[in-house]
Amino acid sequence: RSPSRGLGDVYKRQHGQGAGRQAHDAIVSAVEETIKSGPRTPDLGGTASTTQVGEAIAARVSAQTE
């Protein structure tokens, strides 16, 4: 494997491409917003179940991708 090809692969992983990158960004944003705004699980100072947190994250992802 040539060094230049390896660098290209690193660039793609870091900078992403197309729909995959958009999905990544939407998920990360939704997780960050949920941690900031809630709901939160007890280990983060909240009272929500993991299911409730997951549903909140999924709803935020959906809202961002509509």
Q: Which residue has the higher pLDDT, 4 or 6?
A: 6
Cβ contact 41:48 at 8 Å: yes
pLDDT at 22 (0 to 100): 87
Tell me how far the alpha carbon of residue 7 is from its chain's centroid: 24
pTM, two decimal places: 0.72
Q: What is the pLDDT of residue 65?
A: 80
For the stretch 37-62, pLDDT in tens is 999 999 999 999 999 999 999 999 99
- What pLDDT is attached to residue 38? 97
pLDDT of residue 47: 98
Q: In angstroms, rounded to a whole number, what is the distance separating the alpha carbons of residues 10 and 25?
A: 18
Averaged pLDDT for residues 30-36: 96
